[in-house]
């Protein structure tokens, strides 16, 4: 377990950080907070809109699409093979930077969760071509050493499955270590000995924030180390990074950021890495209205990753209690709601959830009847009237949905 290079400095007071071009000085209570300046974030968003890799736009991302991009990385990057999956697909490791703050990032430990991988590839692209943000790029390279494992679960990615080819959830295999992919992740954890980890995931459309509910486009979590959800020093360090990310993004992603449940999961990767002393930031990329390929979510994930790394690189302390200002994730969002429908003798609202499945190599979204009840407290991408609709059974309603929302 690594100690933070800045731990000996304690809590900063009356501190300002001077970069090559800007002075960052923002005060909250008695602690100075350094989040990304609005201009920096705006420039990064504009860069992403104009430069992001256009060949990674499908929801499904597999190794045969990713590997050529990794092998084409420039001299800033050190590419190596960490090991192989159960079905002998290579799992790659990319190292860049020369700083004292070591940061481990892994993506797609669930094979059907590709947004983090795409954001990381945009991140690599930005390092090679930072536009007018070269100063920020150089700060990250000088202050940090990054070790990235893109696509930890290439077998699951091939199947568009959460699980690996043995049917194992890698995010629940940290203790038993049945999967070779789990062993590889723990091997790199021990040899690289990071100060921080970023665990990149996708979450379902159903996750929402606030009232009326809006999609949770990004959600963050500082995992618990015990059932009591104790505020240990490691969790507080993690909360500080998330607080900085939230402060940076809350104005550009209005009402779209949630806080994932911090219930302790004894077999979960993040909870155990946190308990082992590695501050682990969970990033969940979610839905944005109409963005079923998650192209916009990918941009916000890219911005979140850079804002978190910028905070770590600049080494200032944040009021960790800002973490608790992030609203809790709820499950109050659906893809479609059809109001005032009759099924048999009952009247209610149809709550439609688009179930993802792989058909002939393409991800398809099949409308399924998730709920039939009064859905007044739910939000959805589209809410339509069903005043004249009557169905004999739920199956009859499901058949209509398959035609209406295909």
The pTM (predicted TM-score) of the whole model is: 0.92
Give per-residue pLDDT as tens, 186-234: 999 999 999 999 999 999 999 999 999 999 999 999 999 999 999 999 9
Give per-residue pLDDT as tens, 52-103: 777 798 999 999 999 999 999 999 999 999 999 999 999 999 999 999 999 9
**Tokens read off for 176:** 């038993």
Residue 340 neighbours by CB under 8 Å, 6+ apart: 347, 349, 385, 386, 387
Which fold is adopted by the domain 7-325?
Aminopeptidase (3.40.630)
Q: What angle do CA 191, 196, 199 make, to 5 degrees?
A: 95
What's the confidence (pLDDT) of residue 94?
A: 98
CB of 95 within 8 A of CB of 147?
yes
| C-alpha dist (Å) from residue 220 to 87, 296, 376 | 32, 17, 27
Provide mean pLDDT across the span 118-129. Answer: 97
In the structure, what pLDDT confidence band is assigned to residue 30 with cuts at 50, 70 and 90? very low
Provide mean pLDDT across the span 377-403. Answer: 95
SS (H, E, C) the chain: CCCCCCHHHCCCCCCCEECCCCEECCEECCEECCCCCHHHHHHHHHHHHHHCCCCCCCCCCCHHHHHHHHHCCCCCCEEEEEEECCCCCEEEEEEEECCCEEEEEEECCCCCCCHHHHHHHHHHHHHHCCHHHHHHHHHHHHHEEEEEECCCCHHHHHHCCCCCCCCCCHHHCCCCCCCHHHHHHHHHHHHHCCCEEEEEEECCCCCEECCCCEECCEEEECCCCCCCCCCCHHHHHHHHHHHHHHHHHCCCCCCCEEECCCCCCCCCHHHHHHHCCCEEEEEEECCCCCCCCCHHHHHHHHHHHHHHHHHHHHCCCCCHHHHHHCCECECCEEEEEEEEEEECCEEEEEEEEEEEEEECCEEEEEEEEEEEECCCCCEEEEEEECCCCEECCHHHHHHHHHHHCC
What's the confidence (pLDDT) of residue 317?
A: 78
CB of 146 within 8 A of CB of 96?
yes
Q: What percentage of the chain carries pLDDT values higher than 70?
A: 91
In the structure, what pLDDT confidence band is assigned to residue 38 with cuts at 50, 70 and 90? confident
What is d(CA 81, CA 149) in angstroms, rounded to the nearest whole number?
A: 10
What's the confidence (pLDDT) of residue 55?
A: 78
What is d(CA 165, CA 85) in angstroms, rounded to the nearest whole number?
A: 9
In the structure, what pLDDT confidence band is assigned to residue 3 with cuts at 50, 70 and 90? low
Q: Which of 295, 217, 305, 224 is nearest to 258 (CA)?
A: 217
Distance of CA 379 to the CA centre of its chain: 22
In the structure, what pLDDT confidence band is assigned to residue 33 with cuts at 50, 70 and 90? very low
What's the confidence (pLDDT) of residue 19?
A: 32
Give per-residue pLDDT as tens, 136-152: 999 999 999 999 999 99
| CA torsion through residues 67, 152, 75, 187, sign | negative
Tell me where in the chain the CATH 3.40.630.10 domain(s) lie: 7-325
What is d(CA 189, CA 25) in angstroms, rounded to the nearest whole number?
A: 34
Q: How many CB atoms lie within 10 A of CB 369?
A: 19
């Amino acid at each position: 377990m690594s100690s933070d290079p800045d731990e000996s400095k304690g809590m900063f007071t009356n501190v300002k950080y001077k970069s090559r071009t800007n002075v960052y000085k923002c005060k909250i209570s008695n602690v100075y907070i350094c989040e990304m300046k609005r201009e920096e974030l705006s420039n990064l968003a504009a860069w992403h809109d104009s430069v992001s890799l256009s060949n990674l736009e499908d929801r499904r991302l597999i190794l045969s699409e990713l590997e050529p991009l990794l092998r084409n990385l420039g001299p800033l990057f050190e590419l190596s093979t960490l090991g192989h999956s159960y079905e002998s697909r290579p799992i790659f490791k990319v190292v860049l930077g020369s700083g004292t703050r070591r940061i481990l990032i892994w993506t797609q430990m669930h094979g059907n969760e590709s947004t983090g991988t795409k954001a990381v590839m945009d991140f690599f692209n930005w390092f090679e071509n930072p536009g007018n943000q070269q100063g920020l790029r150089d700060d990250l390279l000088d202050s940090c050493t990054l070790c990235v494992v893109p696509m930890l679960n290439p077998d699951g990615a091939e199947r568009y499955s959460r699980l690996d080819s043995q049917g194992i959830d890698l995010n629940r295999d940290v203790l038993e270590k049945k999967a070779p992919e789990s062993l590889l992740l723990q091997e790199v954890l021990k040899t690289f000995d990071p100060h921080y980890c970023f665990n990149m995931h996708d979450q379902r459309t159903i996750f929402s924030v606030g009232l009326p509910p809006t999609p949770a486009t990004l959600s963050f979590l500082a995992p618990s180390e015990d059932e009591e959800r104790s505020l240990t020093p490691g969790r507080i360090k993690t909360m500080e990074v998330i607080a900085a990310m939230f402060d940076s993004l809350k104005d550009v992603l209005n009402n779209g950021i949630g806080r994932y449940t911090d219930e302790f999961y004894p077999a979960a990767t993040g909870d155990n890495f946190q308990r082992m002393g590695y501050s682990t930031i969970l990033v969940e990329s979610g839905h944005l209205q109409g963005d079923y390929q998650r192209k916009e979510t990918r941009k916000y994930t890219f911005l979140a990753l850079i804002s978190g790394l910028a905070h770590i690189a600049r080494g200032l302390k944040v009021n960790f209690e800002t973490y608790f200002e992030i609203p809790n994730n709820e499950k109050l969002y659906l893809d479609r709601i059809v109001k005032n429908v009759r099924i048999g003798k009952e009247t209610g609202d149809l709550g439609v959830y688009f179930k993802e499945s792989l058909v002939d190599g393409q991800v398809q979204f099949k409308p399924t009847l998730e709920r039939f009840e009064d859905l007044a407290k739910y939000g959805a991408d589209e809410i339509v009237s069903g005043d004249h609709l009557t169905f004999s059974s739920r199956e009859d309603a499901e058949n209509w949905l398959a035609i209406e929302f295909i």
